[in-house]
Amino acid sequence: GAGVSQSPSNKVTEKGKDVELRCDPISGHTALYWYRQSLGQGLEFLIYFQGNSAPDKSGLPSDRFSAERTGGSVSTLTIQRTQQEDSAVYLCASSLAQGANYGYTFGSGTRLTVV
């Protein structure tokens, strides 16, 4: 597609439920990143996928968070047993090769609200 697509755009879930957030990167972009942005805050790195390499999971805040990237394209971020502190905007970005050299293209994000 023309840009990075994220779905859903908004998600309200009850505390304790699991949620899945989807990211469809730009075709041909081998690098994919997930970030979290709490209200009025900066960008918190969560996880990074690069081609067939093992993902960099160093930013995941707890073992309730996991992500996968199938076929080097679409990625899903899963949050199990959601807590109120998980409420935030989850941003996905993709890049040609290593984004640290080429910059990112971000999606519009998924706004997650845990009630």
**Smallest distance from other proteins to CB 10, Å:** 10
Instruction: Tell me if residue 70 falls in helix, strand or coil.
Output: helix
**Smallest distance from other proteins to CB 101, Å:** 5
**Smallest distance from other proteins to CB 16, Å:** 28
Question: Footprint of other proteins on this chain (CB under 8 A)?
Answer: 4, 33, 41-43, 45, 48, 50, 56, 91, 93, 98-109
Handedness of CA 97, 99, 102, 108 (dihedral sign): positive
CB nearer other proteins, residue 53 or residue 78: 53
CB nearer other proteins, residue 7 or residue 80: 7
**Residue 89 neighbours by CB under 8 Å, 6+ apart:** 36, 37, 38, 109, 110, 111, 112
CB nearer other proteins, residue 79 or residue 91: 91
Cβ–Cβ under 8 Å, residues 61 and 85: no
| Residue 56 DSSP one-character state | B
